[in-house]
Structure 1
Amino acid sequence: MDQEKPLRERLIDVGVDLVLTEGTAAVGLREIARRAGVSHGAPRRYFPTHHALLSAIARRGFEDLAARVGAAIAGTAAPRARLRAIAGVYVGHALERRGMFELMFRHDLLDSTGREDTGQPQLRASTLPLFELLVSLVSRCGVTTDAEVTAAALWANLHGVAQLWAFGSLPLVLGTDGEEYVGRLVDAALDAHLGAAAS
């Protein structure tokens, strides 16, 4: 662990590692303190509640997802191609970083008031930029009525694909765990909400 980092960042690093390797249930202030090599009371200086700690960890997940989305759509102008890239990144992120992905959208576990980071926007607002981008791209794909609802339905569809694949339900019903099927499911979700892509 990088001892040069401020303690708050080191504690979040440990929390991120725990979420990725053992899931949200393994994350506790005492365990993070133990792994960071500090007293069990040290994290309370930065994270007065368990919710605040989980929220700081989830914020890292949103930052990582935003960076991946930005890289995936850089240099891509066509709205449908941008949506396909975002959808692939979203589902890929969910499958690669399952514990983090599950935490990021558990607002029942997170402190969405913004109090966990002075000067930070509410954690719940972290989902808004991606959703607003989806709405904009859906509109540019020709959905003229209820683009917001269509974008929300597409997001829910992609989230469901990710969860059902991770839980093994989709591989079971499809009779395969071939990763190429994930891409086909993503394409089918886009076609379902935007109309079939032109050949």
Structure 2
Amino acid sequence: MTSDRAYHHGDLRRAVLTAALDVIATEGPAALSLRDLARRAGVSHAAPAHHFKDRTGLLTAIATEGYTLFAAALAGAPDLRERGVAYVRFAATHPAHFQVMFQPGLYRVDDPALLAAKEHASAELRAGVTGLPATGRGEDPRLAGVAAWSLAHGFATLLLSGNLPDALEGREPEEAFRSLTGLLFRPDGS
């Protein structure tokens, strides 16, 4: 028989999400199992299904939460460079969210809450390139956004995969990213 604790958990949804984020951060999304998460939360093996239905539902909830947190992280940045720094900071402080968000095969891409959170985050990303001066060469202004996104996402991905320790030379990742953007995008246009 299952104990009362298995049925009367204070915030089961949050407990399962937190346990899932821990698993993803240490072992990756492939290691997720609702049964294991229920065990970690101290509830019956069927309890997480009441909140998430299945593993894909759980990953959808993680991606939705990630995009919501991501939009908030980007919103406070005053310019494109600092939005890139916020991007890198978000990846470093929310590695499990970051892993799931950018693997749409893991979650329900048509989930309404996910779509709303993703659109909010996209709007914050686009806001960073809105004030950039035109190049005068007729390029699509969206390409500047793709370039900025590629730089920040690539740096964040390299950071999370452990491929930057030598390049960072002891510097904080955020400061290294600022230096990198300074090398590539000089204020004088050179």
Q: Is TM more than 0.5 here?
A: yes
Q: Does 2:134 match 1:148? A: no
Check if 1:164 corresponds to 2:158.
Answer: yes
Shift of the 110–64 alpha-carbon distance from structure 1 to 2, 3 Å rule, reads same
Deviations 1:89-141 (A, max 9, x none): 11122123323211111101111121xxxxx43x2553332332333331312
Provide the C-alpha distance between the structure 1 equivalents of 2:169 and 2:50, rounded to a whole number of angstroms. 45
CA contact (8 A) 2:24 2:32 kept: yes
Deviation at 1:39, TM superposition (A): 1.2
CA gap of 1:163–1:135, structure 2 versus 1, over 3 A, is: same
Q: Deviations over 1:1-35 (max 9, x none)?
A: x9433x33332233233333443233211011111
Q: What does residue 130 of structure 1 align with?
A: 121
Whose Rg is larger?
Answer: 2
Separation in structure 1 between the aligned mates of residue 134 and residue 122 of structure 2, nearest angstrom: 15
Over the aligned positions, Cα root-mean-square deviation in angstroms equals 2.8
Deviation at 1:182, TM superposition (A): 4.9
**How far off its partner does 1:166 sit?**
2.8
Question: Which range moves more in the overlay, 26-35 or 123-132?
Answer: 123-132
Q: Which amino acid aligns with 1:160?
A: G
- Pairing 1:92–2:89 present: yes
TM-score of the two chains, using structure 1 as the length reference: 0.74
Q: 1:27 aligns with which of 15, 23, 32?
A: 32
Please, which of 58, 66, 69 is the counterpart of residue 64 of structure 1? 69
Aligned mates of 2:29, 2:183 — CA distance in 1: 34
Asked if the contact 2:88/2:173 (under 8 Å) is kept, the reply is no
The equivalent residue for 1:78 is none
- The amino acid that maps onto 2:125 is L
Determine whether 1:4 maps to 2:1: no
- Confirm or deny that 1:196 pairs with 2:186: yes
Counterpart of 1:77 in structure 2 is: none
5+ long unaligned stretches in structure 2:
1-7
Checking the alignment, whether the CA contact within 8 Å between 1:191 and 1:197 is kept in structure 2 is: no
Structure 1 unaligned blocks of 5 or more: 74-80, 115-119
Larger relative contact order (CA 8 Å, sep ≥ 6): 2
Structure 1 pair 198–128 and aligned structure 2 pair: CA distance change class (3 A): farther
Q: Give, as a single letter, the amino acid of the residue that structure 1 aligns with 2:10.
A: E
Partner of 2:170: 178
Task: Tell me the amino acid that sits aligned with residue 48 of structure 1.
Answer: K
Separation in 1, partners of 2:67, 2:182: 23
What's the secondary structure of 2:133's corresponding residue?
A: coil
What is the letter of the counterpart of residue 41 of structure 2? Answer: A
